[in-house]
């Protein structure tokens, strides 16, 4: 009986080893008698909308050692440390260890590999890898992002679309003896790497470089803390240009200074919030016009005359205009005049008259308090006081761009939808994905989100905003022979809940042609020194960018 039991146990063990454990044992045996050299997939390029390469690759190599296959350890360590600037003692310790593989160096040039080959070192191997190369150095640095030393995306588009760009690595497999030395009749098997796909962006590099130049100039001349800009197509919300300055050279990433790198690589247009000030009046005007057209008796007609020359007290808080009214322009004015003069009390009147429920309906429709859905990591929500917590004094201030915080991309998209006929789309940076052999894998189509206002309301608003540039506060963005619309903004900054004396955010959002917008730009200048009004600091920058677009695209005069 005992013998039968033991016999059954032996049979069960044999069955387990051969069947249940068989695959793992085969794998272990294969792994013991085979070695692999990785074949790194070529990373997909990143290009602009016209196929201009923005991020490409330089052919470099990785060098590694199989310690078990090294015949002369000290000699090998000495040669490798000299060729690749590696600490010789540390490398020697690794070669004497029991690890299966040691990486000696990554991203080394062909000349170093050619020298390595002359030594014919046993157990030393190399394979091709990729070193990322950026064609325009610091241009688009916060958008493109950068990769790690092993080629994986760490920030920006490189990170967001890493799975598309990365491809699939291959390997070269060959047979070895028990200590890892290649056998005389080694069988070599080559598994080809699959290169990554190309990411083609909506960015137009010519417009981008023009915007970069303009933003660097205002950064220098204004003494600002930082400047940023986004240019998009109001027809579909494709991002044509996105600038944040100061910036850094993508080919010389300051990896050893984490604090500096984090600051310079942050895409402020997408990730930072600020109080917009008077540019937000575009949204208040849009809500009022739409409500008036819909027959809301609490909305003001376009011919209604506001009295802006007053201080209004709401919930015990004084709310007044930025102007001292010495010129008399703010005494009696229509909505168009109020936009021209950027008169705060008029927009306070509108917000309070429409009421919280109605006004918030438009704020939410225009995307405030939510992300736009841009294909980029780290997009901020902005800051919108919860509707249930809004007091009249809050509502009054929101009407002219205070007590609300937005991201640059939020505001640009909101204004674009207000002037393009009332259509809000999901903004995007990806235009298409193209395979390594040049075939289009997919097109990133326009996605319609909602319609905050009607075409008629949008047309009326465009006409008013054209007046702001032709005869109002935005006159420094005026271009002879071209219809430009826009709105200026100058907002005080707050620190620890109090107004920060002498610190402002100057901005301008503009578009052209005003009758049928094709281009929209938002300019933000953070803490300019000296003159700080958006009309004199930011509006001229938009003019410069628009004039460059006119030249680049050879756009004819409209008058």
Closest CA to 274 of 139, 433, 383, 395: 383
Q: Which residues pair with 521 in a beta bridge?
A: 231, 510
- Positive/negative CA dihedral, 342, 344, 346, 351: positive
User: Whole-angstrom Cα distance, residue 145 to residue 154?
Assistant: 7
Confirm whether 473 is a catalytic residue.
no
Q: Which residues pair with 274 in a beta bridge?
A: 406
User: Whole-angstrom Cα distance, residue 487 to residue 457?
Assistant: 17
| 362 in Cβ contact with 299 (< 8 Å) | no
Look at the chain and count its residues.
559
| Residues contacting residue 369 through CB under 8 Å, at least 6 positions apart | 363, 381, 382, 383, 384
| 211 in Cβ contact with 224 (< 8 Å) | no
| 60 in Cβ contact with 107 (< 8 Å) | yes
| 415 in Cβ contact with 276 (< 8 Å) | no
User: Whole-angstrom Cα distance, residue 235 to residue 421?
Assistant: 9
Closest CA to 148 of 253, 271, 39: 253
Q: Which residues pair with 172 in a beta bridge?
A: 37, 190
Q: Which of 278, 458, 507, 535 is catalytic?
A: 278
Catalytic residue IDs:
278
């Amino acid at each position: 009986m005992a013998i039968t039991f033991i016999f059954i146990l032996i049979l069960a063990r044999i069955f387990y080893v051969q069947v249940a454990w068989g695959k793992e044992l085969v794998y272990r045996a294969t792994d013991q008698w085979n070695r692999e050299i990785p074949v790194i997939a070529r990373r997909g390029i990143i290009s602009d909308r016209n196929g201009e390469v923005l991020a490409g690759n330089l052919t470099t190599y990785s060098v590694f050692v199989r310690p078990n296959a090294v015949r002369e350890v000290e000699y090998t360590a000495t040669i490798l440390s000299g060729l690749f600037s590696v600490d010789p003692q540390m490398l020697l310790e690794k070669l004497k260890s029991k690890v299966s593989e040691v990486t000696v160096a990554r991203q080394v040039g062909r000349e170093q590999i050619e020298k390595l080959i002359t030594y014919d070192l046993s157990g030393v191997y190399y394979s091709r890898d990729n070193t990322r190369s950026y064609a325009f150095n610091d241009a688009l640095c916060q958008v493109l992002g950068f990769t790690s030393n092993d080629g994986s995306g760490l920030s920006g588009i490189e990170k967001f679309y890493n799975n598309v760009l990365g491809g699939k690595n291959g390997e070269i497999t060959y047979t070895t003896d028990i200590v890892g030395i290649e056998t005389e009749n080694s069988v070599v098997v080559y598994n080809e790497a699959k290169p990554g796909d190309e990411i083609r962006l909506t960015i137009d590099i010519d417009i981008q470089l023009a915007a970069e130049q303009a933003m660097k100039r205002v950064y220098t001349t204004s003494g600002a803390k930082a400047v940023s800009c986004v240019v998009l197509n109001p027809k579909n919300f494709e991002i044509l240009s996105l600038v944040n300055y100061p910036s850094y050279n993508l080919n010389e990433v300051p990896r050893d200074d984490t604090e500096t790198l984090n600051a310079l690589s942050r895409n402020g247009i997408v990730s930072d919030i600020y109080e917009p000030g008077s540019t937000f009046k575009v949204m208040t005007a849009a809500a009022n016009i739409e409500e008036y057209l819909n027959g809301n008796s609490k909305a003001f007609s376009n011919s209604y005359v506001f009295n802006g020359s007053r201080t209004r007290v709401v919930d015990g808080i004084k709310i007044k205009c930025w102007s001292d009214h010495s010129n008399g322009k703010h005494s009696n004015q229509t909505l168009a005049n109020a936009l021209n003069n950027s008169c705060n009390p008029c927009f306070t009147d509108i917000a309070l008259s429409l009421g919280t429920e109605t006004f918030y309906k438009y704020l939410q429709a225009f995307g405030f308090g939510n992300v736009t859905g841009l294909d980029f990591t780290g997009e901020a929500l902005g800051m919108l006081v919860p509707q249930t917590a809004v007091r009249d004094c809050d509502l009054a201030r929101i009407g002219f761009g205070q007590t609300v915080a937005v991201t640059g991309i939020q505001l640009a998209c909101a204004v674009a939808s207000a002037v393009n006929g009332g259509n809000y789309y999901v903004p995007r940076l990806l235009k298409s994905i193209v395979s390594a052999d040049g075939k289009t894998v997919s097109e990133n189509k326009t996605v319609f989100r909602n319609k905050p206002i009607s075409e008629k309301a949008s047309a009326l608003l465009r006409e008013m905003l054209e007046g702001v540039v032709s005869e109002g506060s935005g006159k420094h963005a005026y271009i002879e022979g071209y219809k430009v619309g826009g709105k200026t903004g100058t907002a005080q900054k707050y620190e620890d809940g109090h107004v920060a004396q002498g610190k402002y955010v100057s901005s301008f959002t503009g578009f052209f042609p005003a009758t049928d917008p094709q281009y929209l730009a938002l300019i933000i200048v953070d803490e300019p020194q000296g003159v700080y009004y958006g009309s004199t600091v930011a509006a001229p920058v938009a003019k410069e960018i628009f004039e460059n677009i006119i030249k680049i695209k050879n756009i004819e005069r409209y008058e």
